[in-house]
Amino acid sequence: MIEAKWVAPGGAYEPAAQVRRAVFVEEQGYPPELEFDALDETAWHLVLLEGGSPVAAARLAELEPGVWKPGRIAVLQEHRKRHLGARLMEEILQKARALGARELHIGAQVQAQGFYEKFGFHTCGGPIYMDVYIPHIDMIRRLSTEG
């Protein structure tokens, strides 16, 4: 059984960091200094646990009042194809609404654009970032008209 756990800003988010380190640093080759940044201190961190072990993670950071940035969405390789990415997104959308978000902005890896489109995100005219290890594109989802 998968358990979702949110860690409030300033809390110990090491289980989420373990997943991010495995996926982004070890698997995808991101330098640790780019993967972990100042937003980690002010963000909500989400970890999915199975039998007490972290298997997926994400974060949700407030950029300005009403505008939040989900990101660092990661699922350990051996746990993919189990719809855990969808579970992370459902948890993020629920938490964002509870926090009063009007909009969500994400810098999505280009190869994951279709995944985010399934959850109502669309490109917002931003360029594809070519100065990072994996190309990214800006995407947005508005929540203000939803019930």
Whether 92 shows a pLDDT value over 90: the answer reads yes
Residue 14: both structure tokens together: 């090491």
Higher pLDDT, 131 or 51: 51
Tell me what the mean pLDDT of segment 117-146 comes to. Answer: 80
Query: At 104, which helix (H) or strand (E)?
Result: strand 103-109
CA distance 82 to 61: 26
Check residue 34 and give its pLDDT: 81
The alpha-helical segments, DSSP class H, found in 21-144 are 32-35, 39-42, 84-98, 113-117
Check residue 30 and give its pLDDT: 84
In this structure, are strands 2-7 and 44-50 parallel, antiparallel, or unpaired? antiparallel
Check residue 147 and give its pLDDT: 46
Q: What is the pLDDT of residues 28-83, one digit of tens each?
A: 888 888 888 899 999 999 999 999 999 999 999 999 999 999 999 999 999 999 99
